[in-house]
Structure 1
Amino acid sequence: MTNWLPNLENDIEPQERRGPLYMRLANRIESDIAQGILPPGTKLPPQRNLAFDIGVTIGTVGRAYNLIRERGLVTGEVGRGTYVTSHKDVPLVERSSTSTPFGGTRGAIIEPGNIRLDSTAAIDVGQSEPMERLLQGILKQYPREISSYSRTLPQSWLEAGSRWLSSAGWKPDLASIVPTLGAHSAILAIIAAVTAPGDRIAFEDLTYCSAARSVNLMGRRSIIMHTQAGFATPDDFERLCAQQHPKLVFLMPSLHNPTATTMPEENRRAIVDIARRYNVWIIEDEIYGSIMQNKHIAIAALAPERTFHIGGLSKSVAAGVRGGWVACPPHLATRVYTAHKMVTGGMPFMMAELGAQLVNSGEADAIRSKVCAEVRDREAIAQEIFAGMDFNSQPLATFLWVKLPDPWLSATFKNAALNEGVLIDDEDEFKPGRTEKAFHRVRLGVTVPATREELRQGFSIIRRLMETSNASYDSYS
C-alpha cells in the first residue's frame, strides 16, 4: 500500500482551490495519477486512514473516491481496496455532472438494475389513465393556449392551489396563490423575491438540501439551526435570529425530510412569535403535507403576513406533472409570480392546466387515496423487516430515517449498499453545510420500487448489511 498523502494546499491550478473539498481531493488524485506519482496498480489508502491523516471526514474521502471511480481512474474491490487502473484498460468516460460544485451526493445518471430507495416520488398507481383523459380534453379545448405562451392566470388555477394547500380548517385566499413549476421552483422564486445577495437564510441541520444549495448558488448565505427530536427548536431559532439576523427561515413542519417527524403545534406557535419579533420571513415547505392529509395546523394559518406556504403533487399524485402552488402573504403574490417567471421561464400552460384539472375534478384526491393506501402497506413491510432496529417512520411516511448500528458510518453504509445494488441516501445528502454533528443514519424511500416484492428485497439487503460488520468493506470505508 502506498504511503501517498495528497497536498490540497498546493493545487496545480488556482481554480482547483475552489469547490467542495471532496472535489479538490478527487482532482488532486487525478493529477497525481496523470503525473505518475500514483502509477497503475497502486493501492490507495483506506478511506478511514486517509480521512484521519488529512483531517477530513470519511464521507468526504468516500465521495472523492466515488468520483475518481466514475472517471475510470480506479477500481474498488470488496475486501482488497481501491487501486489505480491502467489507462490502457479503461475507456475514456465523460465526467458525471456530480463533479460540479452544485450537485448533491446522488449520481446524475442511475444505472439500470439497481433497487432505488433514494427517492420519494409518488407511487405508480395507474395515474396515466386519468391523465390521458384529461390531456386529451385540454388539447381539444385549448388549442390556441397550447401553441402560445401562457400570459394569464385562470381562476381555475388559483382555485386548485387554494384547495390543495388547505390544511386543518385553513384555506388560503385566491389572491395569495401563485401556481409554480413544482415546489422547488417556488422556493427559488420566493428567495429571489424577498431576499438579496448576501442575506442569510436559516435551515435546520437536516433538511431538503437542494434548497440550501440553491441559496448559495444565488449568492445568499445559508446558516444552520440545530434540531432536537428531528425538528427545529424555538430556543435555537431565537439564538440564530439574535446573533446572525436571518432574512428568511426554511422549515418542513409536516413529515420533515429526512427525519420523518412532525413539528408540534407549540413549536410552530413559538417559532411564529420569534419570527415576528425579529421580522423573519418563513417558507413552510409542505410538499409532504398532502400525503399526511394536511391534518396539522399550518404555520401560514398562524402568520399569514410573513409565511409562504408551498405544496404540490410530486409526493402524493405524480412527480412528472411538476404541479405546485405557493400561498403568499397577499401583498407579495404578484412579486413572487414575477420572480417565478424570471427564474423558470414561466409556467407551461399544459402542466398548469393539467395540475389544476387534476385537483378541481377530484382526480388528484382519488389518486392520493390510492397512493396513501399503498404507502401504508409498504410502511408496514418496513416495520416488519426492521423490527428491533432504531428508525423513524409514520404510517403515511414515504421514507424511513434509519439509525445504523456501530461501527457503520452513513457514507460507508451507502457505498456498501450500492455495491449490493441498492441506492439509498446517506445523511450528507441532507446537510445544508458543514457541521460536526453526526447522526449515523440513512434515509430509505418506499415509493420507487415497482412492486412490494422488490421493496422487500431491497429492505432485506439493507437489514442484512446492518447486521454485518463493515470490516469486509475496506475499500468503501
Structure 2
Amino acid sequence: MTNWLPELEPGKGPLYLQLADRIETDIAEGVLAPGTKLPPQRNLAFDIGVTIGTVGRAYNLIRERGLVSGEVGRGTYVTDHKETSLVLPVAHTEPFGGTRSATIPSGKIRMDSTAAIEVGQSAAMERLLAELTKEYPSEIASYSRTLPASWQQAGSKWLSAAGWVPEPSSVVPTLGAHSAILAVIAAITVPGDKIAFEDLTYCSAARSVNLMGRRSIIMQTQGSLTPDDFERHCAQQHPKLVFLMPSLHNPTAATMPEEHRRAIVEIARRYNVWIIEDEIYGSLMTHDHVKIADLAPERTFHIGGLSKSVAAGVRGGWVACPPHLAARVLTAHKMVSGGMPFILAELAAKIVNSGDADAIRAKVREEIVAREAIARSAFAGMEFTSQPLAPFLWMKLPDPWLSGTFKNAALNEGVLIDDEDEFKPGRTEKVFHRVRLGITVPTTRDEVRQGFAILRRLMETDNASYDSYS
C-alpha cells in the first residue's frame, strides 16, 4: 500500500473530479506505478478531509477510465496498461467551462455569434409552418415515433457536396449539429474513452465530452492539423474518435488541403479511429472539397445543419453515418436529446425539400460576402484571417493586448466578442493573441461598421486603462 496523498484545491471544481484527475496524472507520470494499491476509501477520505462518498465517486470514475481494478475486500490497484506511462493533458475540472456569459447583456453589438444572418426567413417559415400544421395536426399534438423518408432525404440533399451524396437510409435527423455530435459520441464511445480535438476548435463539443465521462485530448498543432500531428497523437494517446472541421475551421477560418484529408483517413484506418466531420460551416462554402466521409465512409460521421446558413432557431441538423451505425446513432440521439420534435424535424425537411433552404442560403452568402468586404476595409493594415463566405474573422491583436483583456475592453465599449480561450478544449501554454469576430448577428451593415470602428479604435489604443490592479 502506498503513502500517496493528493492535494486538492477547494473552489477549483468538484472534489471527486479533482481527485480522479490527480490519480490519472500521477499514474501517467509514474508516481503511482502499475500494481500499486490505492489507500482504502475511508482512510483517504479522513487523510484529505473529504467525505467517503467523494472518494468513492473518484474511484468509480478512474475504474471507468480503465486505470484501476479491484474487488470488494481486496482493494483498488493501478492496472498495468500500456497507456498509463503517457503524460496526459490535465482534464478540465469544470465541465461547463467557456468564457461566454450565461446571459447576454442588452444593448450591445453582438459579434460573439455566427448564427445565420436575418434575410427575411420569416416569410418562408410562416408559409411552411401553416402547411405543416394543416397537414399534420395529430403529429404536432403527440410524440414523434416515426422516421419519415422525407426527413432522411432532406438530410441527404443538404449534406451532399463535392460529388458525394450520402445514402438517405444512413442519415439521422438531429436537433441541430451539436446534438448530432453528442449522439455520435454516446453511440460509439464509453466513459473513459479518449476523443481528440485540435488545440483550437468548437469547444462546446469538448466540454460535453468531459461532462459525459469521456476524456478530451488536445492535438498540439502549428496552426492547423497536419497528418504528422494526427499520427503522433494516435500513436501516443490512442484516441477512439477524432473531431474535425475540415472545410471551414472554427475559429481559424482555415481549410484542410485535400492531401491532408487523404492522409488523415489512412492514419485513422491504421489506428482504428472513428472520425466526426463537422461541416456546419462547410455548407456556406461554394468551392468543392472532397469530403472525408466520401474517402472513409466506413468510419466517418458527417454532420451538418441549418444554423449558420439558413436559420439557427429551427435547430435542423443531420448526421450521415456509416451504414451499419445509423440505427444506433438514432437511438443514442433520442437518449441524449429526449427525441426529435416533430414540428422542428418536419419544418427542417420542408425547408430543404422545397428549395427554400437553398434560396435563403444564397441570400445569407451574399450578405456575408458584403460584410467580409467591410471587414477588409475596416481592418486594412491589420493581421486577420477570413474567407469571403466565412461568418467570422480570426483577428490578431497588436501588442500589448491580450485576448481576455481585449474581450473585456470591447464589452465595456459595447461590443460582444469571443476571446481565444473560448476555443481551447483544455489547458495549454500556447497563446495566440487572437479573438474571433462574428459578422452575422448585427442587423444591418451599418451596425457591423460601427462595431468594427469601436474594435479598431480599441486595438490602436494603449490597453493600460483596462488592466486590473485589484
Fold conserved between structures, TM > 0.5:
yes
Task: Give yes or no for contact 1:166–1:294 (8 Å, CA) kept in 2.
Answer: no
Task: Give yes or no for contact 2:13–2:94 (8 Å, CA) kept in 1.
Answer: no
Counterparts of 2:190 and 2:17 in 1: how far apart (Å)? 23
| Structure 2 counterpart of 1:286, from 267, 279, 299 | 279
Shift of residue 391 of structure 1? 0.3
| Structure 1 counterpart of 2:422, from 397, 409, 429 | 429
Structure 2 equivalent of residue 276 of structure 1: 269
Deviations along 1:74-93, one digit per CA (max 9) or x if unpaired, are xxxxxxxxxxxxxxxxxxxx
Deviations along 1:340-359, one digit per CA (max 9) or x if unpaired, are 00000100000000000000
Residues 203/100 of structure 1: CA separation in 2 closer, same or farther (3 Å cut): closer
- The 5 Å alignment of 1:69-218 reads 101-218=95-212
Residues 101/246 of structure 1: CA separation in 2 closer, same or farther (3 Å cut): closer
Counterparts of 1:420 and 1:394 in 2: how far apart (Å)? 27
Shift of residue 103 of structure 1? 3.6
Counterparts of 2:466 and 2:17 in 1: how far apart (Å)? 28
Equivalent pairs: percent with the same residue?
Answer: 77
- The 5 Å alignment of 1:43-58 reads none
Deviations along 1:435-475, one digit per CA (max 9) or x if unpaired, are 11100000000000011111100011111111111112122
Structure 1 equivalent of residue 386 of structure 2: 393
Runs of 4+ in 1 over 3 A off after TM superposition: 9-20
Shift of residue 144 of structure 1? 1.0
Please give the secondary structure, in 1, of the residue aligned with 2:206. Answer: helix
Deviations along 1:396-451, one digit per CA (max 9) or x if unpaired, are 00000000011111001111111111100000000000011100000000000011
- The 5 Å alignment of 1:301-450 reads 301-450=294-443
- Of 393-402 and 107-116, more deviation after overlay is shown by 107-116
Structure 2 equivalent of residue 35 of structure 1: none
| Structure 2 counterpart of 1:300, from 290, 293, 304 | 293
Residues 138/198 of structure 1: CA separation in 2 closer, same or farther (3 Å cut): same
Shift of residue 141 of structure 1? 0.3
Deviations along 1:304-358, one digit per CA (max 9) or x if unpaired, are 0000000000000000000000000000000000000000010000000000000
Counterparts of 2:8 and 2:229 in 1: how far apart (Å)? 39
Shift of residue 293 of structure 1? 3.2
Shift of residue 216 of structure 1? 0.3
The residue identity in structure 1 corresponding to 2:334 is: K
Task: Give yes or no for contact 2:243–2:277 (8 Å, CA) kept in 1.
Answer: yes
Residues 465/217 of structure 1: CA separation in 2 closer, same or farther (3 Å cut): same
Structure 1 equivalent of residue 32 of structure 2: none
The residue identity in structure 2 corresponding to 1:384 is: S
* CA RMSD across the alignment: 1.8
Task: Give yes or no for contact 2:200–2:423 (8 Å, CA) kept in 1.
Answer: yes
Residues 219/270 of structure 1: CA separation in 2 closer, same or farther (3 Å cut): same
5+ residue gaps, structure 1: 1-8, 21-98
Q: Provide TM-score, normalisation by structure 2.
A: 0.81
Deviations along 1:229-250, one digit per CA (max 9) or x if unpaired, are 4x21110110110011000000
Deviations along 1:232-287, one digit per CA (max 9) or x if unpaired, are 11101101100110000000001100001111101100100000000000000000
Counterparts of 1:335 and 1:112 in 2: how far apart (Å)? 42
Residues 166/103 of structure 1: CA separation in 2 closer, same or farther (3 Å cut): same
Structure 2 equivalent of residue 71 of structure 1: none
Residues 385/12 of structure 1: CA separation in 2 closer, same or farther (3 Å cut): closer
Deviations along 1:350-394, one digit per CA (max 9) or x if unpaired, are 000000000000000000000000000000000000111110000
Structure 2 equivalent of residue 32 of structure 1: none
Q: Provide TM-score, normalisation by structure 1.
A: 0.79
Shift of residue 101 of structure 1? 4.6
Shift of residue 13 of structure 1? 7.9
The residue identity in structure 1 corresponding to 2:101 is: G
Please give the secondary structure, in 2, of the residue aligned with 1:228. Answer: coil
Counterparts of 2:435 and 2:467 in 1: how far apart (Å)? 19
Task: Give yes or no for contact 1:162–1:177 (8 Å, CA) kept in 2.
Answer: yes
Deviations along 1:33-69, one digit per CA (max 9) or x if unpaired, are xxxxxxxxxxxxxxxxxxxxxxxxxxxxxxxxxxxxx
Shift of residue 104 of structure 1? 1.2
Shift of residue 225 of structure 1? 0.8
Residues 14/181 of structure 1: CA separation in 2 closer, same or farther (3 Å cut): closer
Is residue 242 from structure 1 mapped to residue 248 from structure 2 by the alignment? no
The residue identity in structure 1 corresponding to 2:109 is: I
Counterparts of 1:468 and 1:406 in 2: how far apart (Å)? 10
| Structure 1 counterpart of 2:251, from 252, 258, 279 | 258
Counterparts of 1:142 and 1:474 in 2: how far apart (Å)? 58
